[in-house]
A and B are shown apart, each in its own frame.
Chain A
Amino acid sequence: VWQGCSIGTAKLHLLEFSAFMEQQGETNTYNRHLFVHISQGSPTALESVDVRQIYDKFPEKKGGLKDLYERGPPGAFFLVKFWADLNTGVPDEPGVFYGVTSQYEGPENMTITCSSKVCSFGKQVVEKVETEYARFENGRFMYRMHRSPMCEYLINFIHKLKQLPEKYMMNSVLENFTILQVVTNRDTQELLLCVAYVFEISTSERGTQYHIYRLVKE
């Protein structure tokens, strides 16, 4: 059902992705704010974006988006446009946790490696590499990267972005801020998913939004 409708291939499918800040309140309550969030929505056909339109927004040397796309498979490449929500109701105090949670599923038992590269003006500034083992649940193999701590670079970036007085200034900074996530099968080095993220600030009062596109070469 989900093929062609969201981020995934026959081998791996993204179920959830969220970046958040969270504060533990009194009586063990948690106050969580989502900066960005992808969840399973109702399936709709994806529009396409020519991958060459965004090459320069991501690393271009060996192992960059162009290289990766040429190696393929092309069906594993996606672009996500996020409208991020920076209207945090959570006070930014010591003890606030900044994290990222992502969840994948697939039909095979694999060990996956997930690389997340934060890029500024198309150049990688920081990379996180995580390895995740499969857990068999309800006939599918699940891969959960739960509450992975956000790197200092991103936390500082969010702080600085929030200090800008106008949304258009934030969007101007975000024009040159991107994240590239590459998920591979650790044992075979097969590319399973490649997701390019670009950002704008949400103008909605009701939180973060997104569009997903297929990356193609037309």
Chain B
Amino acid sequence: ERPDQVPMRKRQLPASFWEEPRPV
């Protein structure tokens, strides 16, 4: 059930998780 030490990059996360927001 759990990813178990799979690197974060290989997990099912939204694309935005890796996109630093632009400063307002």
Contact = CB atoms under 8 A, between A and B. Distances in A.
A48 to B, nearest CB: 8
Range for the number of chain B residues in contact with chain A = 10 to 19
A56 interface: yes
Interface string A186-218: 000000000000101011101101110100000
B contact patch SS: loop
Given A175-B8, A206-B23, A211 B2 contact: no
B21 A56 contact: no
A52 B2 contact: yes
A81 B7 CA distance: 15
Contacts of B12: 50, 53
Given A56-B2, A56-B3, A175-B8, A204 B16 contact: no
A47 B20 contact: no
Contacts of B17: 49, 81, 211, 213
A50 B8 CA distance: 13
A121 to B, nearest CB: 9
Contacts of B21: 83, 209-211
A202 B13 contact: no
A204 B20 contact: yes
A49 B14 contact: yes
Interface of A: 41, 47-50, 52-56, 81, 83, 175, 198, 200, 202-204, 206-207, 209-211, 213
